[in-house]
A and B are shown apart, each in its own frame.
Chain A
Amino acid sequence: MTQAILMTFAPQLIIAFGIVLSLLLIAWQRSQRMIALFTQAVLIFALLLSVKLLSVEPTEVTVLLKVDSISVYTFILVCISALVVTQLSYKFLKSQIEVHDEYYVLLLLVVLGSGVLVASDHFASLFLGFELLSISFVGLVGYIRESRHSVETGFKYLILSATASSVMLLGIAFIYSQTGDLGFTAENNVASAHDTMFYSVGMLLFISGIAFKLSLVPFHFWTPDVYQGAPTPVTLLMATVSKVAMFTVLMKCCFSQNYFASENLVQLVTLIAILSMIVGNSLALKQNNLKRLLAYSSVAHMGYLLIVLLITQQESIAFAWQSAQFYLSAYILASLSIFTVITLCEADCRDGNSEKELTIDSWSGLFWTNRLLALLVILAVLSFAGIPLTMGFIGKFYILSHATQAHLWYLIAALIIGSGIALSYYLRIIFTLFKQDEKASRIVNYSAGEQILVGLFIGAGVLFGLFPDVVGLFIV
């Protein structure tokens, strides 16, 4: 392995090295502030290296990994999300007396897991990344031991996640039994293998495993509970890093496997997509808890995103990648924005009484008391809803373009119906912000640094929404 090849994988290696160093740091001195800063430094370093790698030629790093511009771009998204999560976690954990330095190690492990996932070109590395991500998440979701939901959340995630990975492993075994190759691009005998039942069953199990992580219907049952029970920064991490990495690897695997040659699988994906859009949006309608609502809305969003998997010809793969990258970026920006506000509001609530969950009503009148935060929420919600002026609209535009090119009329119909349903709960959030009543939310205090973060998100949201070409420069 030459140095050049090693360089392409450097961001992930930096993270791994950072993990080891942070363990040493913990042994040396336990300080929340220091470890948070160190984590951020590692992430920024990895981020900068990734940006430099953006126009890299596809390079094989051993048989297991393959770095190309798509994986680099996705890893940038992962690093940005992780950076924000670190910042919010610091705010979140600061209020406790105990020093939570292992939290940051787990966080870096999640990033490493997703880094391996986005670059994997082999079922073995896929499984490795998958497990690294899941196990670290188990530690994170139940992290606050005193919290009412922590045991329930942790166990729910542990058991279901373990089931999902074993199902996926079985699926990989089936696929291997037919193709005789664990690499994604098993070029030689895939075509003949497609017709066998074992291969189809294998793909079915494999997709189910990933669908669990993406919380697609009918594998979505854990999502609202875990979203609600986990500490908010962890929820954010789950909504962004885990989703992006999983979706990227699913797409990579499916396209390399040439899965769209098999009619059954395409129908399966279509069905999952339609179900996710309709069910996710319908279930979100009656939610009052913000995190639960966002959980169901994420189900629907992953449903929309599945549309890009449904391609009919080899030529549209490039456009599918572009659409997915753009949509994921928009989704991440909106998630980061809205969860930042949730964390800030929660931190403010917590001063009063010990544990309080944020409902939609606790944002009542936010626009009149905290204009900046409310603007960010509006922008994020509009982006989720896919209304122009925001990135979410361009994302939806990409997906619709993709769907019209592939003539997926049923999916377009489901998307329109789903968006229609979604509007009623998204608008409910926005209208609550404008409510003028006595029990209006009080002024949320947050530091200047956080103010800059909020301003940055607003600026990015408007800029990328009005001039998507800026993002287009990075996605190839």
Chain B
Amino acid sequence: MMLTIIIFGLLTSGCIAWYAEGRKENSARWIALISFVIFGLFFIFSVVTSTQNYTELQLLVRVPWISLFNIEYALAIDHLSITLLILTFILAIICVLVSWQEIQEQCGFYYFNLLASISGIIGVFCAVDLFLFFFFWEVMLLPMTAIIAIWGHENRHFAAIKFFIFTQVSSLLMLVAIITTAYFHAHQTGSLSFYYQDWLKLDIPIEMATYLMLGFFIAFAVKLPSVPVHSWLPDAHTQAPTAGSVLLAGVLLKTGAYGLIRFVIMLFPEASHNFAPVAAILAVVSILYGAKMAFAQSDFKRLVAYSSISHMGFVMLALFSFNFVAYQGAVITMVAHGLSSAALFSLAGMVYNRIHSRNLNEMGGFFKSAPRMGGFALAFAAAAFGLPGLANFIGEFLSLVGAYQAFPVIVIFAALGLIGSAIYGMVLFQKSFQGPSTTNVLDLSARELVITGSLLLLLLVIGLYPNILLKYSFGAPTQQLSTLTITPNKAKDNILVTNIFNAQIAQLTGGQTL
């Protein structure tokens, strides 16, 4: 019930914000901020007070929705979803704060879109009926496209269309896979079902599972994004308004990773395991290619966008190494990248507000006039290239350590991406904040200090005391995976079982030593 209230509450407050802006200027942003804070606190409060054990999926609500196809409205959460939902709420508040002054036209409709998009994202993270999941998947997409297309920069229409077509075509593939699996369920058990838990019980022949897995994989790989379906991302990120970029990089990319964990790997473990080498190669290519391309950019936001491709490569590599430590690393990287890329995009927005350019060649020497901004920029750039003590380091380190057991050679190449990230991180910082001073810029305002300060604080906390997350990301999917793979009729048992063994050792020791 709680999440239903949150999803519809956010949507309603979106409508209220839209309406209120017409009555009284600047009321929409307050409504948006207040509703995010209230619903965020409400969510955290109800999770903390609940007695349920969220290491496994806990069903919250399940009611029939479309009886023609036996589709249900079913929501469930576990630790993974809770982590990502909290991240979503934090970034949603950041989004409102960064758009506080940037958005001047059609504010009411803007905040409506922002709230609608967030409520769609929340739906994605907790839907366990695949049709409902697809529904939310699209619901988050439409307002996002509107945000890019209406409030974006000069080339916004092209970027928005590209973004929409990429995601839409790939999600149609997923839709076909969803329908096929549902009818396979009907074929095997006699009744049509889109319910996630029902699908977990299915025994799908490996050949068919491979195709179905590919349908899901492509949709999520586009969202992640992974080479070769990444090309929407630099355009969309560059053209979107600051809040749009923050939302895209911070949360939307994570829905791809979430989908990979929840659906690709959990529903089709064998098929994904067979596919893992391909996915790992794609991941390492993304890591290196993203780093290389980031290095070559002269546009602040484009650089950060390519760095996202590189960072999400680590997530994919970690997920497909079927290893417990790597899985931990993937979850932490997701959160860390969400925070650090959001921070960098906010910084880009702040710089853009001051000099009305994203071109790095027109920047330089800001450190002199804006030392606080410079300090934060350095810290966030350091987070992006994985300085120990900040969250990204933990995530990437764990990912690489875990993945090394599965793909030693690939991981050696992937580790090179860390050097690449140091290079582009420094390029970013040097070009904008160091060198001869060209223009004087204002230092951070109080509102901007809150944004950057809170993000840095979170990065530091996770970086210095990762148990705060590890405590929660322990368990759930990997344990479910183990119960799944132990069933005797599945092939490739031995490999998976060794992984599970590793996982359990890690679980016993890792929690204490890390």
Query: Which listed segment binds A: B65-73, B90-98, B367-375, B410-418?
Result: B65-73
Q: Taking chain A's interface residues, is the majority helix, strand, or loop, or is none over half, making it mixed? A: helix
CB distance from A287 to the nearest CB of B (A): 16
A388 within 8 A of B: yes
CB distance from B350 to the nearest CB of A (A): 24
Q: List chain B residues, Cβ under 8 A from A368.
A: 106
How far does the alpha carbon of A393 sit from the alpha carbon of B171 in the complex, in Å?
13
Query: Which listed segment binds B: A18-26, A162-170, A398-406?
Result: A398-406
Q: List chain A residues, Cβ under 8 A from B164.
A: 423, 427
Range of interface residues on chain A? Answer: 20 to 34
B458 within 8 A of A: no
Query: Which listed segment binds B: A77-85, A100-108, A125-133, A412-420?
Result: A412-420
How far does the alpha carbon of A431 sit from the alpha carbon of B149 in the complex, in Å?
7
B134 within 8 A of A: yes
A424 within 8 A of B: yes
A455 within 8 A of B: no
Q: List chain B residues, Cβ under 8 A from A415.
A: 172
Contact yes or no, B179 A420, CB < 8 A: no
Q: List chain A residues, Cβ under 8 A from B145.
A: 427
A426-475 CB contacts (< 8 Å) to partner B = 427-428, 431, 434, 436, 467-469, 472
| Residue of B106, B138, B172 with most chain A CB atoms under a 10 A cut-off | B172
Nearest A residue to B161 by beta-carbon distance? A427
Contact yes or no, B180 A431, CB < 8 A: no
B130-188 CB contacts (< 8 Å) to partner A = 134-135, 138-139, 142, 145-146, 149-150, 157, 160-161, 164-165, 168-169, 172-173, 175-176, 179-180, 183
Evaluate whether A423 and B161 lie within 8 angstroms (CB atoms) in the complex, with A401-B69, A401-B179, A468-B68 already known.
Answer: yes
Evaluate whether A467 and B66 lie within 8 angstroms (CB atoms) in the complex, with A423-B161, A431-B157 already known.
Answer: yes
B63-83 CB contacts (< 8 Å) to partner A = 66-69
Contact yes or no, B165 A420, CB < 8 A: yes
Contact yes or no, A397 B175, CB < 8 A: yes
CB distance from A342 to the nearest CB of B (A): 22
Evaluate whether A424 and B161 lie within 8 angstroms (CB atoms) in the complex, with A389-B139, A419-B168, A419-B169 already known.
Answer: yes
Contact yes or no, B160 A400, CB < 8 A: no
How far does the alpha carbon of A428 sit from the alpha carbon of B164 in the complex, in Å?
12
| Residue of A387, A404, A405, A472 with most chain B CB atoms under a 10 A cut-off | A404
Q: List chain B residues, Cβ under 8 A from A436.
A: 105-106, 150
Contact yes or no, A434 B146, CB < 8 A: yes
Contact yes or no, A412 B176, CB < 8 A: yes
CB distance from A386 to the nearest CB of B (A): 8
Nearest A residue to B192 by beta-carbon distance? A401
Instruction: Choose among B138, B142, B169, B175 the residue that contacts A400 (Cβ–Cβ < 8 A).
Output: B175
Evaluate whether A387 and B160 lie within 8 angstroms (CB atoms) in the complex, with A404-B176, A469-B68 already known.
Answer: no
Evaluate whether A434 and B66 lie within 8 angstroms (CB atoms) in the complex, with A368-B106, A397-B179, A404-B176 already known.
Answer: no
Evaluate whether A472 and B68 lie within 8 angstroms (CB atoms) in the complex, with A404-B183, A427-B160 already known.
Answer: yes
Q: List chain B residues, Cβ under 8 A from A427.
A: 145, 160-161, 164-165
Contact yes or no, B165 A423, CB < 8 A: yes
Evaluate whether A400 and B179 lie within 8 angstroms (CB atoms) in the complex, with A388-B138, A434-B146, A469-B67 already known.
Answer: yes
Q: List chain A residues, Cβ under 8 A from B69.
A: 397, 401
How far does the alpha carbon of A368 sit from the alpha carbon of B108 in the complex, in Å?
12
Nearest A residue to B184 by beta-carbon distance? A404
Q: List chain A residues, Cβ under 8 A from B176.
A: 400, 404, 412, 416
CB distance from A476 to the nearest CB of B (A): 12
Q: List chain A residues, Cβ under 8 A from B179.
A: 397, 400-401, 404
Q: List chain A residues, Cβ under 8 A from B139.
A: 388-389
CB distance from A116 to the nearest CB of B (A): 31
Q: List chain A residues, Cβ under 8 A from B149.
A: 431, 434
Q: List chain B residues, Cβ under 8 A from A397.
A: 69, 175, 179
Evaluate whether A420 and B168 lie within 8 angstroms (CB atoms) in the complex, with A434-B146, A469-B66 already known.
Answer: yes
| Residue of B105, B146, B175 with most chain A CB atoms under a 10 A cut-off | B175
Nearest B residue to A394 by beta-carbon distance? B66
Contact yes or no, B183 A401, CB < 8 A: yes
**Can you list 6 pairs linking A and B with CB atoms under 8 Å apart?**
A417-B169, A423-B164, A427-B164, A427-B165, A436-B106, A472-B68
Given A397-B175, A468-B66, 8 more pairs with CB closer than 8 A: A382-B142, A388-B138, A401-B183, A404-B176, A416-B173, A423-B161, A428-B157, A469-B68
7 closest Cβ pairs, A-B complex? A420-B169, A388-B138, A472-B68, A416-B172, A404-B180, A388-B135, A404-B179
